[in-house]
Amino acid sequence: MTPRTTVDGEVRTAQPESAKRGADLLHDPLLNKGTAFSREERLRLGLLGLLPPAVSTAEAQAERVLRNVRKRPEDLDRYVDLLSLLDRNETLFYKVVTEHIEELLPIIYTPTVGKGCQLYAHLFRRSRGLFITRQEKGMIRDVLRNWPRRDVRVIVVTDGERILGLGDLGASGMGIPVGKLSLYTACGGVPPWQTLPVTLDVGTNNQALLDDPLYLGVREKRITGKEYDELVAEFVDAAQEVFPKALVQFEDFANHNAFRLLHEYRDKVCCFNDDIQGTASVTLAGLYSAGRITGRRLSEEVILFHGAGEAAIGIADLVVSAMMADGSTKKEAMSRCWFMDSKALVESARKDLQEHKRPYAHKHKPVGDLLSAVKELKPTALIGVSGKAAQFTEDIVRAMATLNDRPIVFALSNPTSNSECTAEQAYRWSSGRAIFASGSPFAPVDFEGRRFVPGQGNNAYIFPGVGMGAIASGATRITDEMFFEAARALAARVSSAELERGCLYPPLTQLREVSAHIAAAAAQVAYQRGLATEPRTKNLLARIRGLQYKPEYPSYA
């Protein structure tokens, strides 16, 4: 009575714990087919009478889901509907999402997931993932062993302190690991039974949550220092022991923890930080695509970052590596990256700089505002990663357009309400000359007889493929080179026609194929650098395509 799947022509068992019957089978979202169980299966599996008599096709079920979702008046309602589907029938959820990814990606992830996290306790239906608190110290291995599936390959973990641009949401940040892992499956093809969302609930400093009688997390201020570090260390060690083949993705940790945790563990375990490295990779891909429009090499760009947190520094570090590969020295490459933080230009005379900003503190007179910095530094690219809305004013965009025939303007802050400017503003204020990308989606813009299709610099282009590449190769580490090559692979998938429309990324409808190419690029690095543990195949791309999960109902033979 075990569902099976076919990979590379080999029939494999999907999950070991699948010999369920009756109501137990219907209540397991990985195994449930709902009304798609055939008459014979209902007789054999003790389902007779537990379902309406009509047998539906998966296509009919998907149509029913879409009709109901589209009738909902608000995106948050659609988000709740889709999460409810995920809780009862994962195969159908992924069928609907993968076949309508362009429509539903903004619903299941950014920007709607942000609102879902803010209201997590009020929308709570069913627990997904694992919650670990300070009370579990010394017992984290036991907590991880409570997870019902052993073959976990990807863990997304957050401590909820910096959820998107929304700040400290504590345990309510669990929506992010759940959402990220749904994209690992929908976009990258990682089987859903190989994923595990984790929240380290170390408290929250958000007083509104602490005062909310419905809040579901630990009602205490955040632990810090040695106690925090010991809890994270125990989790990382336990994850390696219980799930030895798992990649750990750190997600939405605050700056003061994100950099140092990445530095601590990146050379010890298979891990990465998507906010630092994934954002960097998708942005670098956008710059590569922009270079095809401007005719400039990456090493010729002068980049001004508005924001100097983990995303900004991560982008700059990867850009520097890419410029060095383009022939620049490290000093030359770093000198072409400038930062404005919340106070002023990051420059060498400042005494208040955090450690991660100091390598980019170049010699320059003080500059107190972004418009003045644009006029002083004459950047070719302006990248917004501030988390603050409406920072790219009309004067600033016009100044960029005065300095550059084709100014690069990336407004990457999420969710949409935090974007530094809208697509329509960027095109209108630059007289249609801006090369624009954003972190959240914007609709096409009609301006002076031309239709622009703004590109979304969504990390979903990168991390699912990198994760699948790690699985396919059995990578023991995730390196910056993998993200460098992922950016190249992504940019290579952008057609000339898409660039002509102003889009720096391939259509979201191509995400699974794009992810396969990125996975092959990441796996190739693992093999070249001696980091792979899986046997190498002649056609790596074909192997990865074969490994990708397909949302098809199993046959209970």
Of the listed 20, 33, 95, 180, which one is catalytic? 180
Place of tokens 């984290």: 140
H-helix segments, 452-510: 463-473, 480-492, 496-500
3-state secondary structure of 81: helix
Place of tokens 């072409």: 336
3-state secondary structure of 63: helix
C-beta separation of 248 from 181 below 8 A: no
Q: How many CB atoms lie within 10 A of CB 511?
A: 26
Q: What secondary structure, in 3-state letters, does 295-329 show?
A: CCCHHHCCEEEECCCHHHHHHHHHHHHHHHHCCCC
C-beta separation of 466 from 266 below 8 A: no
SS3 content of the chain, % helix, strand, coil (to 5): 50, 10, 40
Across 249-266, b (16+ Cβ under 10 Å) vs e yields: bbbbbbbebbbebbebbb
Beta bridge partners of 470: none
Residue 109 annotated among the catalytic residues of the structure: yes
Structure tokens at 327: 């022939």
Can you tell me the distance from the alpha carbon of 547 to that of 252, in angstroms, rounded to the nearest whole number?
29
C-beta separation of 95 from 551 below 8 A: yes
DSSP one-letter code for 501? T
Residue 553 annotated among the catalytic residues of the structure: no
Of the listed 20, 33, 95, 109, which one is catalytic? 109
Sign of the CA dihedral running 153, 181, 5, 30: positive
All residues at 6 or more sequence positions from 107 whose CB lies less than 8 Å from its CB, including other chains: 69, 75, 78, 79, 82
Catalytic residues: 109, 180
